[in-house]
Amino acid sequence: MSRSEDLYKRALQVLPGGVNSPVRAMRSIGRDPVFIERGEGPHVWDADGNRYVDWVCSWGPLILGHAHPKVVAAVEAAAAGGTSFGAATEGEVELAAEICDRFRSVEMVRMTSSGTEASMSAIRLARAATGRDPILKFAGAYHGHVDGLLAEAGSGLATAGVPASPGVTAAQAADTAIVPWNDPEALRAATAEREFAAIIAEPIPANMGVVPPAEGFPALLRESADVNGALLICDEVISGFRVARGGAQGLLGIGPDLTVMGKVIGGGLPAAAYGGRRELMERVAPAGDVYQAGTLSGNPLAVAAGLATLAELDAPAYERLAQTTAKLALGLQEAAGERPVRVVCGGPVDPWPPASVFPGLLTVFFSAEPPRDFAGASACDAEAYGRFCRALLERGVYPPASQFEAWFPSLAHDDEAVERTLAAAAEAFEEALG
């Protein structure tokens, strides 16, 4: 038995499914989990000593790659001075100022430890500010495992959701309306039917794979919120510090009322935040009456890692990340040849290659057409994607183990990492689709 097999056997005894978050189990690509031992730059090594080019990068946070020397040094220095105080520190003031400097719509932030907490708190604030309960989200969008957001479209009243997981109450799900992404008519109909506290959207959805907004849809989000009297919440947990210095909202010209941030903001340590206009954020306790708290919020190690990471993310860095992403995306599409595969790496998705590439994001869809919404993403050949991933892993390339996730190129991915991936992908496409 290999070390990985032994670890998985032990893990299954003490962790549900052997993991601490479902996608890691790799069930959707039909194999056992990879146990990672260490990472450096664009690479990870598993418990059996195999090296992989890592395109997951912890699902987004590691925009500088693994164990970046400046991040490691910042965390070491912070740890030596005490790991947590549950009190105010200088670092969190600096990080908040850095965020406000980058995001035009954000004047104040409150830090949390996870994106889930941040979106839950932003929704609470939106409900308090509007005096309304219902919220609107898009099918296939993910904003963390908040009860009320684990809802899917029901068959009854057009806009009232039903629980998407056992344990979510019918009442929580009913307060959530689910609308197809990129569907202006559905959005207009839903907002005409109910008064929402908030419309929450990933401006560049990346949790059904990357499904960019269609022309005009970002502007419609703002317009619909205004007409309805709802707040617009942009969930930039993935896109925030990845696609541009000022996030997807800067890139696409959206002015949200509240923004949810995470992943890159903690540089690989647990940190997230929500922020927005001063008068809204000053409703949050203790400035205001909306309660929200966290023992480890603004944790000194996470703040140090976040500051060290953001310090590297200037305009040339985003340019370089876009180039790496374009090279990988174009190479993957070329390696797929005539097979029904569509790499999505920017917007608008048609024609191929796209006129612009989102730095640091792409999805290899096993579909002849780029999906426009969750139904389109769900229609992809997930079995073939699974075969593709298994073949890549056998060849030392670590892709996201789900058709509904993004690849996350980092600034550590060099030409060699891309070349090695493309060589493996040519064989993997052959194995997956013949």
Ligand X SMILES: *Cc1c(COP(=O)(O)O)cnc(C)c1O
Is the peptide bond preceding residue 348 cis, with omega within 30 degrees of 0? Answer: yes
Tell me which of 175, 183, 235, 381 is the catalytic residue. Answer: 235
305 interacts with ligand X by CB under 6 A: no
386 interacts with ligand X by CB under 6 A: no
Residue with smaller CB distance to ligand X, 122 or 391? 122
CB of 143 to ligand X, least distance (A): 5
- Write out the two tokens for 315: 């305009």
Amino acid at the residue 413: H
Q: Would you say how long the chain is, in residues?
A: 434
DSSP 203-236: SS--SSS--PPPTTHHHHHHHHHHHHTPEEEEE-
Tell me which of 175, 183, 257, 263 is the catalytic residue. Answer: 263
The count of chain residues that interact with ligand X, using the rule CB under 6 A, is: 14
Binding mask of the shown chain, residues 342 to 361, with x at each position contacting ligand X by CB under 6 A: --------------------
Strands 397-398 and 51-54: parallel
Of all residues in the chain, what percent are helix, strand and coil, respectively (each to 5)? 40, 15, 45
398 is catalytic: no
Helix, strand or coil for residue 245? coil
The residues in 162-191 that bind ligand X, with binding defined as CB under 6 A, are none
Residue with smaller CB distance to ligand X, 119 or 324? 119
235 interacts with ligand X by CB under 6 A: yes
142 is catalytic: yes
Amino acid at the residue 101: D
Q: Determine contact, residues 20/362, Cβ cutoff 8 Å.
A: no
112 interacts with ligand X by CB under 6 A: no
CB of 192 to ligand X, least distance (A): 27
238 interacts with ligand X by CB under 6 A: yes
Radius of gyration of the chain (CA): 21
Q: Closest residue (Cβ) to ligand X?
A: 115
Is the peptide bond preceding residue 399 cis, with omega within 30 degrees of 0? Answer: no
Quick one: residue 191, left, alpha or beta (phi over 0 = left, psi -120 to 50 = alpha)?
A: alpha
263 is catalytic: yes
331 interacts with ligand X by CB under 6 A: no
Binding mask of the shown chain, residues 120 to 159, with x at each position contacting ligand X by CB under 6 A: ----------------------xxx---------------
Using CB under 6 A as the criterion, which residues of the chain lie in contact with ligand X when the complex forms? 114-116, 119, 142-144, 202, 207, 235, 237-238, 262, 272
Question: Which residues are catalytically annotated?
Answer: 142, 235, 263
